[in-house]
Amino acid sequence: MIERAYTGGEESGLAVWTEDEAGPYQTVPYPGASWQPTGEPKRRPHEYVRRGTAKVLSMFHPATGEVRVRGVRRTINEVLHPWLREEFTAILETLPQTKEALSAEQNRSEWKS
């Protein structure tokens, strides 16, 4: 099945897309206020101040190498991110319609292959 995913499995009814998240990344570098004893060089603040992060969502289609990427401010693990939902809907609309449903035995043999 993995080989079919990488070699155009959609003709045989196998459409594989993978999703990944990267991050969090700092959104922008922020200059810090300095503190130093008199006559000493300036130093950065000793406390880390988090002023916003971003993540990168990506979808990959192994058969064609197509990649879809979006930067987002936050992701919620309990639900599908709205961007992913939009992309999945767009992908489903491009898939060929099946002529008829597979029988339970045919479906099982496809998954076993």
pLDDT digits (tens, 9 = 90+) for 86-100: 999 999 888 877 667
- Each residue of 2-34: pLDDT tens digit? 676 676 655 656 678 889 988 888 776 666 666
User: Is the previous residue joined to 96 through a cis bond, with omega within 30 degrees of 0?
Assistant: no
**The token pair that represents 92 in the structure block:** 């489903």
Q: What is the pLDDT of residue 68?
A: 94
Q: What is the pLDDT of residue 69?
A: 95
Contact by Cβ (8 Å): 95, 89? no
> In a 10 Å sphere around its CB, with 0-12 CB exposed, 13-18 middle and 19+ buried, how is residue 75 labelled?
middle
pLDDT: which is higher, 107 or 33: 107
Looking at beta carbons, which pairs linking 52-56 to residues 24 or more positions away fall under 8 Å?
A: 52/26, 52/27, 52/28, 53/23, 53/24, 53/25, 53/26, 53/27, 54/23, 54/24, 54/25, 54/27, 55/21, 55/22, 55/23, 55/24, 55/25, 56/21, 56/22, 56/23, 56/25
Q: What is the DSSP letter of 30?
A: -
pLDDT in tens, 38-50: 787 776 665 656 6
Average pLDDT, the chain: 78
> Using one digit for the tens of pLDDT, what is the confidence trace for 56-80?
999 998 888 899 999 988 777 667 8
Q: Which residue type sits at 6? A: Y
Dump the DSSP string for 31-44: PPPP---TTSPP--
